[in-house]
Chains A and B, each alone.
Chain A
Amino acid sequence: MSLLALAGIAVRAGKRTLLEVPELEVVEGEILVVLGPTGAGKSTLLRIMGLLQRPDAGGIAWRGEALAWPPPLEVRRRLAMVFQAPLLFSGTVFDNVAYGLGLRGERGAALRAKVEAALAQFHIGHLAGQRATTLSGGEAQRAALARAVVLQPELLLLDEPLASLDAPIREHLRDELKSVIRERRTTCVHVTHELPEAFTLADRIAVLAGGRLLQVGAPEEVFHAPTSRTVAEFLRAGGMLPAEVIGTAAGGTTVRLVGRERTIAPGARIGVRPAEDAGLIPGDDAENMRS
């Protein structure tokens, strides 16, 4: 079932289009990873999905219901977001993790039990009474994740929350995060520019570059069958080889590739991987290849 759906989204700065997403859907229960290089518009897209930024065009639907702007508070409270920086508030780690529950009117023993469970899940139970400003980078990001996860959001949005951490801590926390999300069966949109992070976490991957949504699909599909050169290059598909169209006939298009001619049926995709003597290679544009 569709949890959140974007349609015809555009963000502009003057005449320049910063983000263009004709269609994107988050399906309940999945981890959707938005993958793309720095400056691709990933964070802008996530802010729109988090109902924190109004797009210049397009609509957002929550569980099939179109949302007006500003979105109702009760819908906003079904979402939670974690940013790249932990952005912890003043006060203790416990205060931070309890903050969102407090906003929702939770108090007393029920609140305490939930906060303690979340702290334990991220292995920072012993830091509950410590001032948030004194935490290390890894501890602070664990607290930030616990602060969002404790709300049991229907949709959890993660904006490169591991990007600022050192490699060993990042890998460890990535595994922990995945197990927590799976355990709580939380629907999640995770933004990253790191390929290992994307392929470790994703049920589906949406590739974004230059503000445009280039491809959405299962990790294997995106990896093995990139639909454009940009996606292939970003996924490090290997060196690009020139291809020459020889002719077109009823059976397909004949191309010369690495000195060999091949006839490709309409709709087919070809490519090359370094380990293979012939294989996958997207052209300048997959659409052109198909024609």
Chain B
Amino acid sequence: MSGIAQAAQAVLAMRGELAGIVGLSLLVSGTAIVVAMVLGVPAGIYLGLHRFPGRQFLVTLVNTGMGLPPVVVGLVVFFLLARDGPLGDLELLYTPWAMILAQIVIATPLVVGITLAAVQGLDPRVHLQILALGASPAQHYWKLVQEARLSLVAALAAGFGSVISEVGAVMMVGGNIQGQTRVMTTAIVLETRQGEYGMAIALGILLLGLAALFNWLFTWVQQRVKE
């Protein structure tokens, strides 16, 4: 009980900073999942529909990417954005942009993989039927998105869940700088290390609550699109 009271006190005392941390977490992970959906859904549909040399390799790459350890992604993005790295001139390291980039790398394979499975799960004759009614290639893709929308909401939920809760990548490329790149997960790590257990618990509860809230939202959307 004293732990919870301590957590409540800590939250009240730091509510201004806490709002910033939560806001940045949502901004970074929200932007990353939007970009991952924009890139991943068309890529998943294309991989699901077409046969071409190297496709199997790409599918293997996507499947591997679905289980990428965030800390490894962080390491790769770190080297890419480091001062003497290929994208060093952009000076993005230790900014929210670097964190967004790392989370895009984590979420995109998940979105591609789930979309690919959804498209392959549709009756192959559905593609022919859509074309046989006079759909252009763009209309064909859009209809597939509509038909596979339940799975796409699942891709959105899985992708967002993976990035909002990851700590390794954002820690490496964001640096956990107070007021600039500190997000909920990195803040929990820091507070625990500093022995500020009340604050760590409060952040943990908040993160769980947010994850539950978004999951409820995605489930609600899924039920709506199912009807």
Please list the 4 inter-chain residue pairs (A to B) with the smallest Cβ-Cβ separation, ordered nearest first.
Answer: A81-B132, A77-B134, A100-B133, A87-B129
Contact of A90 among B128, B129, B133, B146 (CB under 8 A): B146
What are 25 residue pairs bridging A and B, where the CB atoms are less than 8 Å apart in the complex? A52-B131, A73-B136, A76-B134, A77-B134, A79-B132, A79-B134, A80-B133, A81-B129, A81-B132, A83-B125, A83-B128, A85-B123, A87-B123, A87-B129, A89-B126, A89-B146, A90-B147, A100-B133, A100-B134, A103-B135, A147-B133, A148-B132, A148-B133, A151-B133, A151-B134
| B-chain residues with CB within 8 Å of residue A223 when the two chains form the complex | none
- Name the CB-closest residue of A to B126: A87
Q: Enumerate B149-194 residues with CB–CB distance to A below 8 Å.
A: none
Contact of A80 among B123, B125, B126, B132 (CB under 8 A): B132
Q: How many A-B residue pairs have CB under 8 A?
A: 51
- Name the CB-closest residue of A to B122: A87
Q: Given A99-B133, A99-B143, 16 other A-B contacts at CB below 8 A?
A: A47-B128, A73-B134, A80-B134, A83-B128, A83-B129, A85-B123, A87-B126, A89-B143, A90-B147, A100-B133, A103-B133, A103-B136, A104-B134, A147-B133, A148-B132, A151-B133
Contact of B128 among A52, A89, A151 (CB under 8 A): A52
B139 at the interface (CB under 8 A from A): yes
| B-chain residues with CB within 8 Å of residue A79 when the two chains form the complex | 132, 134
A282 at the interface (CB under 8 A from B): no
A50 at the interface (CB under 8 A from B): yes
| A-chain residues with CB within 8 Å of residue B129 when the two chains form the complex | 81, 83, 87
Total B residues in contact with A, Cβ cutoff 8 Å: 15
A90 CA to B225 CA, complexed, in Å: 10
Q: How far is the CB of B20 from chain A (nearest CB, A)?
A: 42
- Select the residue from B126, B129, B131, B139 with max chain A CB neighbours within 10 A: B129
| A-chain residues with CB within 8 Å of residue B136 when the two chains form the complex | 73, 103
Q: Enumerate A121-166 residues with CB–CB distance to B below 8 Å.
A: 147-148, 151, 157
Q: How far is the CB of A30 from chain B (nearest CB, A)?
A: 20
- Name the CB-closest residue of A to B148: A90
- Name the CB-closest residue of A to B123: A87
Q: How far is the CB of A187 from chain B (nearest CB, A)?
A: 16
- Name the CB-closest residue of B to A89: B147
Q: How far is the CB of B150 from chain A (nearest CB, A)?
A: 9
| B-chain residues with CB within 8 Å of residue A73 when the two chains form the complex | 134, 136
- Select the residue from A79, A103, A147 with max chain B CB neighbours within 10 A: A103
Contact of B125 among A87, A103, A157 (CB under 8 A): A87
- Name the CB-closest residue of B to A99: B133
Q: How far is the CB of B129 from chain A (nearest CB, A)?
A: 4
Q: How far is the CB of B186 from chain A (nearest CB, A)?
A: 41
- Name the CB-closest residue of A to B146: A90
- Name the CB-closest residue of A to B225: A90
A233 CA to B80 CA, complexed, in Å: 71
- Name the CB-closest residue of B to A96: B133
| A-chain residues with CB within 8 Å of residue B146 when the two chains form the complex | 89-90
Q: How far is the CB of B133 from chain A (nearest CB, A)?
A: 4
A89 CA to B132 CA, complexed, in Å: 13
Q: Enumerate A1-60 residues with CB–CB distance to B below 8 Å.
A: 47, 50, 52
- Name the CB-closest residue of B to A86: B129
- Name the CB-closest residue of B to A88: B129
A100 CA to B130 CA, complexed, in Å: 9
B132 touches A85 (CB 8 A): no
| A-chain residues with CB within 8 Å of residue B128 when the two chains form the complex | 47, 52, 81, 83
| A-chain residues with CB within 8 Å of residue B132 when the two chains form the complex | 50, 52, 79-81, 83, 148, 157
